């Protein structure tokens, strides 16, 4: 895990420790900034996903409303049919009493049937219009949501690639420094041993 507490042992020679610390700190800050931007993009994507889900629910609600309208149309047609049938029965009953009254009732029944048909057709036309608008709106919403999601995903991938590149550079720099640090540590642990010189005596003994 990369943190702001990156330090190097104080040694003689090699890179300037302060410069290395500053470089690593700046690179760490850049990584944290990029990671924060990535989290913001992810949050924006989640918000869009929630909005898209809400729109889907709204579309389902619209479908339910259309079903209610269709049911109302059927009930209206049934009511109109019942009215016509009732008027027809009434006309037949009155016809036995007087032809004139029967003719008037037939005319009234025809007028009611015509009005009922006109109203029914108007309800059907209105329902079809509303259904077409709802479908078109749903398609536009889905299209916009997909476009926005694609843009968010593209930006997120780009930011993630830049972050990975920065991390790779940091890792490479650290790997380049490790052999030097190891060499310096070895030099400290293994100081030079003075060479012992042997002298011979005049008699040839040691």
pLDDT at 162: 87
pTM: 0.29
For all residues of the chain together, what is the average pLDDT? 79
Please answer whether residues 32 and 5 qualify as being in contact, where contact means their C-beta atoms are separated by less than 8 angstroms: no
Neighbour tally for 33: CB within 10 Å: 13
d(CA 101, CA 104): 5
Chain Cα centroid distance, residue 131 = 27
pLDDT in tens, 38-77: 999 999 999 999 999 999 999 888 888 888 888 888 888 8
Query: What pLDDT score does 191 carry?
Result: 53
Residue 206 has pLDDT above 50, yes or no: no
Phi, psi of 66 (to 5 degrees): -65, -40
Mean pLDDT computed over 169-185: 76
Helices of type H across 96-196? 99-189
Pick the residue with more confidence: 11 or 105? 105
pLDDT band at 11 (very low <50, low <70, confident <90, very high): low
In this prediction, residue 20 carries a pLDDT of 75
Q: Which of 33-42, 65-74, 141-150, 191-200 has the lowest mean pLDDT?
A: 191-200
Q: Is the pLDDT of residue 203 over 50?
A: no
Average pLDDT over residues 90-110: 77
- In degrees rounded to 5, what are phi and psi of residue 4? -85, -5
Instruction: For each of the domains in the chain, give its residue range(s) and CATH number, in order of start.
Output: 17-189 (1.10.287.1490)
Cα atoms in the 13 Å half-sphere on the side-chain side of 10: 0
Measured CA distances, 37 to 5, 49, 146, 152, 157 (Å): 22, 18, 21, 12, 11
């Amino acid at each position: 895990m990369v943190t702001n507490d990156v330090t190097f042992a104080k040694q003689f020679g090699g890179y300037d420790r302060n410069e290395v610390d500053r470089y690593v700190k700046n690179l760490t800050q850049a990584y944290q900034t990029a990671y924060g931007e990535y989290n913001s993009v992810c949050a924006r994507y989640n918000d869009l996903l929630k909005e898209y889900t809400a729109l889907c629910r709204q579309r389902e609600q619209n479908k339910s409303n259309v079903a209610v309208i269709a049911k109302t149309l059927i009930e209206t047609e049934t009511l109109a049919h019942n009215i016509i049938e009732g008027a027809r029965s009434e006309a037949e009953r009155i016809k036995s009493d007087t032809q004139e009254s029967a003719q008037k009732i037939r005319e009234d029944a025809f007028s009611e049937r015509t009005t009922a048909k006109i109203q029914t057709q108007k309800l059907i036309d209105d329902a079809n219009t509303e259904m077409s608008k709802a479908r078109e709106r749903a398609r536009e919403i889905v299209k916009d949501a997909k476009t926005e999601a694609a843009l968010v995903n593209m930006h997120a991938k780009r930011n993630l690639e830049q972050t990975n590149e920065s991390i790779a550079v940091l890792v490479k720099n650290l790997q380049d420094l490790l052999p030097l640090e190891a060499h310096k540590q070895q030099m400290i642990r293994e100081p030079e041993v003075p060479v012992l010189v042997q002298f011979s005596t005049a008699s040839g003994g040691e």
